Structure 1
Amino acid sequence: MDNTPRILVFAGSARKESLNRKLAAAAHQMIQDAGGVSTLLDAAEVSLPLYNQDLEENGLPEEALRLKKIFAEHDALLIASPEYNSSITPFLKNLIDWVSRPTEGEEMTAQFRGKVAGLVSASPSGLGGMRALVHVRDILGNIGVLVIPEQKAIPNAFDVFDEEGKIQDENVVKGVRTVVESLVASTQKLKG
């Protein structure tokens, strides 16, 4: 049995120049280096309506079904979450809400339960997105995701990435790598 963890990586922002999209791309490569198999979900390609249960009258939107399938194919999540007004982004909450919705015969939150997650954040503020990570951790824990204790919040992040989106600060690289390696190891252990 192959216990190589399949990890879905995505940012909680679809903005083109998002620091967290750059961070997600960096983590994606680190997962490969740590022995995991990683899929980078491009947030800019996610097009979901604002969650409203009335929209489910004729079934879930096609985009929600597509995303549920992608989530189901992975053992773990690595989320790069921005912080908006001391919490998570509407984009990230909306994505979680739609993917958590059941199809006929499926239990609520089936695509999340039993998964492992690692959290990182990059922010131009001095706190590095730490407040958002608390909220993401709480939400994921309540829908059955085991969130590893290691996390990395990167403050003053405009100074961390070069023009190509590469992390320039070796201490930041080490911090993100610690999260990635713990996520890969924890997922391998749970897969048995």
Structure 2
Amino acid sequence: MSVRILALVGSLRSGSHNRQLAEAAARHAPEGTTVELYEGLGDIPFYNEDIDTDSAPASAVRLREAAGRADALLLFTPEYNGTMPAVLKNGIDWLSRPFGGNAVSGKPTAVVGTAFGQYGGAWAQEEARKAAGIAGGSVLGDLQLTIPNSMVRFAETHPADDTEVTDQLVEIIHRISGHVTQAAPQAA
């Protein structure tokens, strides 16, 4: 069984270490698993139930369709003022609808990331796990990767070239895939 994991990156910055971390996950994904980086999270308007109608914004529809095609989600988040960035929270909000039948309902979801601080974005990851779980995702809370001091650690090395980081990412992707394949017979 081939497993498709949709990666949502909570940083829009072109040199984002979290984007680089997602690129590393895509590059080092084990055989039989694809990690697809979602492009366009910043193009989606802030969630507003008044515009979430039969003609929802095309950017939100694209996100929902991408999540619908995926078997699992992998969220990459920096930490902004002790929490996740608004763009990631907004993506989760759009994915949480329609209530009870959304594109992430029951899908294995993991949250990882890197941040400048000494805790590697742990608070942001906790908030993202909470929001993704309330949105209906099956949050894999035991899969955690917090990488502190990103500005120093990745100043001269791309995360894809950091063996310790890639080993941890590959392990997380393996475990996400295991949750997907374990759930597949039950869904059939």
Decide which of 163, 167, 175 is 1:170's aligned counterpart: 163
Shift of residue 54 of structure 1? Answer: 2.3
Tell me, in whole angstroms, the C-alpha distance in 2 between the residues paired with 1:58 and 1:83: 34
The 5 Å alignment of 1:35-54 reads: 35-43=32-40, 46-54=42-50
8 Å CA contact retained: 2:27, 2:160: no
Aligned to 1:81: 77
**Are residue 15 (structure 1) and residue 36 (structure 2) matched?**
no
Shift of residue 127 of structure 1? Answer: 0.6
Shift of residue 28 of structure 1? Answer: 1.4
Give the counterpart letter for 1:120 in structure 2: V
8 Å CA contact retained: 1:4, 1:36: yes
Show CA shifts across 1:73-103 (max 9, x none).
Answer: 011011111111111110001111122223x
Shift of residue 58 of structure 1? Answer: 6.4
State TM-score, norm by structure 2. Answer: 0.87
Q: Which runs of 5+ in 1 are unaligned?
A: none
Shift of residue 142 of structure 1? Answer: 1.5
Q: Which runs of 5+ in 2 are unaligned?
A: none
8 Å CA contact retained: 1:4, 1:188: no
Aligned to 1:189: 182
Q: 1:109 to 1:140 in 2, by over 3 A?
A: farther
Aligned to 1:60: 56
8 Å CA contact retained: 1:160, 1:167: no
Decide which of 173, 181, 187 is 1:180's aligned counterpart: 173
Show CA shifts across 1:18-51 (max 9, x none).
Answer: 11111111111222x25312222135x6401122
**Pairs aligned (count):** 184
Aligned to 1:150: 143
Give the counterpart letter for 2:109 in structure 1: A
Q: 1:42 to 1:58 in 2, by over 3 A?
A: closer
State TM-score, norm by structure 1. Answer: 0.86
Tell me, in whole angstroms, the C-alpha distance in 1 between the residues paired with 2:97 and 2:7: 20
Runs of 4+ in structure 1 displaced over 4 angstroms? Answer: none
Identity of aligned residues (%): 32
The 5 Å alignment of 1:103-118 reads: 107-108=99-100, 110-118=102-110
Tell me, in whole angstroms, the C-alpha distance in 2 between the residues paired with 1:58 and 1:6: 27
Shift of residue 174 of structure 1? Answer: 2.5
